[in-house]
Structure 1
Amino acid sequence: MKPRVNRVIGEEDAARNERPFIVFLHIHKCAGLSFKRILRRQFGPSFGKRIVNRMHGVRPKPLRAALADVKGSQVYFAGHFGYGVHELLPSPVRYVTFLRDPVQRLLSLYDYSKRTPQSFYHSHATNVSFEEFVSNGDVFETDNGMTRFLIGDLARTDYYICRKPIGSLTEVDLQLAIENLERHFVTPGITERFDESLVAISDDLALPCACYLRLNESQLASQTKSSWNGKLEPFVSLDRRLFEWANRKLDEAKISQPSFEAKVEDFKLSNARHQRRYQGYYDAYQSFMNRLRS
């Protein structure tokens, strides 16, 4: 899969110089669309501009072109790419990312790829079982993909995923991913703990905790893992440990703030009101955008 980005220009103000440049590393099927929508609400582009861009067929630029086009007023950069893009962006940089239970992530990736003709992995998922999709040896992302994204493109050729041969990642690679998380990322987000994650990330970045509507949720995510074949365990073994480590970091963020639980509960109440108020409008918007795509 080629790296995809959503380049966004924010409002130019003094606050830009008081906080780090935000890089959202969107790992597939890890609540990324929900978080990107939160970024858009805070920093733009506006709803109207997105509609106009879509109607005029404006498409995201290739990654390197988008990186080269970053302007002083831009406050964040988001998309599907690997660790390392900060080397081409304004300093200081703080990465944001979300991780997910690795088996559920693969189930969701398979489900989305199979039922979505325009998805990059559609041909890989069509007419094959889930086990075949994971183990076919053609998709780097199904072999400890979260670890690979957080290692990044070591050769810096396209700033996407680590392309070490499938099955070759080791403890050294896992530790490199963790080291990158510790050095350049805010508290890692956990898809299954989305509200807690938003509170922790917002605190780290000194941003308000913006409300959201959940997007792009796969029905497969609600299924049990009974279809998981133990023979596939090597494809998630490092990602499991990475996911456990990230959960511990989020726990540490909770413990370090006596008011954390109260913040989360207040946010949940606010977000419930937001969902009741805007879900209908969003459904109408999604329907309109789907018609534009067809």
Structure 2
Amino acid sequence: MDTTKPVVFIHVPKCGGSSVRRLLKSTFNESVILHYRDEPNKLNPSPISKSKAEHIINKFGFCIIYGHFNLKRRFGIQDNVPWANQFITILRDPFEQYVSAFKYSKKNRPEEITLESFEIYLNTVEPNYLNHFPQVVTSENFESVISNNFSYIGFDFNLEKSMNEIFSFFSINLKSEIPKINVSPSPIFSFEKFRKEFEKRHKLEVDTYRYALEVWNESQN
């Protein structure tokens, strides 16, 4: 990774990204450009020009463009930063990410976090996972996307190690603990009984995650 050039840090929802955002902003300050949809006003984020990113580098030393990039909602990588070519992200087990998204959707109605309502969710809501990748992911290209599009992929189950490795690209030591932000409610029961059905329906998400994890494990040896 060449940190003298802009880096796009993709925040896949419910993968620890809000905590990472806080850490990045507190460490890199003005070097971070946030890229998020304005949900209350239903406004997609504006495209970010290469010249703006390069101006940030010239002024502050680095440029990290951080946020959601949802190609299905027309603010994906190719929509808003088509010139970018360095991508990093943090991934989470797709089923765990899906469960967390479900619980977060009920944050104002925690009494609705039940096995019955999750089963309805599973039957009606598609995962919001691969939508944030730099390009459309298919069963034919997912290995290539992981290997060729990303400069680094870390994992939420080892978030501190992942962030230490990301910071090392910038020659910076991780000095503070990673804050826990935007945590979904935790019910007393488990959703594991639905894992096999989820993985059967959403094989592409699972295969992509497992391949990314395989690549990461090989890099640790």
* TM-score of the superposed pair, with normalisation by structure 2: 0.71
Pick from 28, 33, 36 the counterpart of residue 13 of structure 2: 28
Aligned to 1:177: 142
Residue correspondence of structure 1 range 60-99 to structure 2 within 5 A: 62-63=44-45, 65-68=46-49, 70-71=52-53, 72-73=55-56, 75-82=63-70, 85=77, 89=81, 93-99=85-91
Instruction: Give the drift of 1:33.
Output: 0.6
Aligned to 2:219: 253
Deviations 1:58-96 (A, max 9, x none): x99732x24259351161212111475267549664212
Distance 1:18 1:101 in 2: 28
Check if 1:110 corresponds to 2:75. Answer: no
Distance 1:111 1:76 in 2: 29
The structure with the greater share of residues assigned to helix is 1
Supply the RMSD in Å over aligned alpha carbons. 3.6
Pick from 178, 183, 197 the counterpart of residue 217 of structure 1: 183
Distance 1:193 1:22 in 2: 21
Q: Which one-letter code corresponds to 1:193 in the other structure? A: N
Instruction: Give the drift of 1:178.
Output: 3.2
Distance 2:170 2:144 in 1: 20
Distance 1:210 1:91 in 2: 32
Greater RCO between the two (CA within 8 Å, min separation 6)?
A: 2
Instruction: Give the drift of 1:245.
Output: 1.6
Distance 1:202 1:186 in 2: 13
Q: Is the 8 A contact 1:189 1:197 kept in 2?
A: yes
Deviations 1:128-153 (A, max 9, x none): 711211221xx44x2xx42343264x
- Length, aligned pairs only: 197
Q: Relative to structure 1, is the Cα distance of residues 189 and 174 closer, same or farther in structure 2, using a 3 angstrom cutoff?
A: farther
Pick from 132, 135, 140 the counterpart of residue 149 of structure 1: 132
Instruction: Give the drift of 1:198.
Output: 1.3
Q: Is the 8 A contact 2:87 2:152 kept in 1?
A: no
Q: Relative to structure 1, is the Cα distance of residues 102 and 190 closer, same or farther in structure 2, using a 3 angstrom cutoff?
A: same
Instruction: Give the drift of 1:21.
Output: 0.8
Q: Is the 8 A contact 1:67 1:89 kept in 2?
A: yes
Instruction: Give the drift of 1:241.
Output: 1.9
Unaligned runs of 5+ residues in structure 1 are 1-16, 47-58, 118-124, 155-161, 163-172, 256-294
Q: Is the 8 A contact 2:130 2:205 kept in 1?
A: yes
Aligned to 2:164: 199
Distance 1:241 1:90 in 2: 26
SS in 2 for 1:29: coil
Aligned to 1:231: 197
Q: Is the 8 A contact 2:95 2:199 kept in 1?
A: no
* TM-score of the superposed pair, with normalisation by structure 1: 0.55
Moved more, 66-75 or 209-218: 66-75
Q: Is the 8 A contact 2:77 2:134 kept in 1?
A: no
Unaligned runs of 5+ residues in structure 2 are 32-40, 58-62
SS in 1 for 2:161: helix
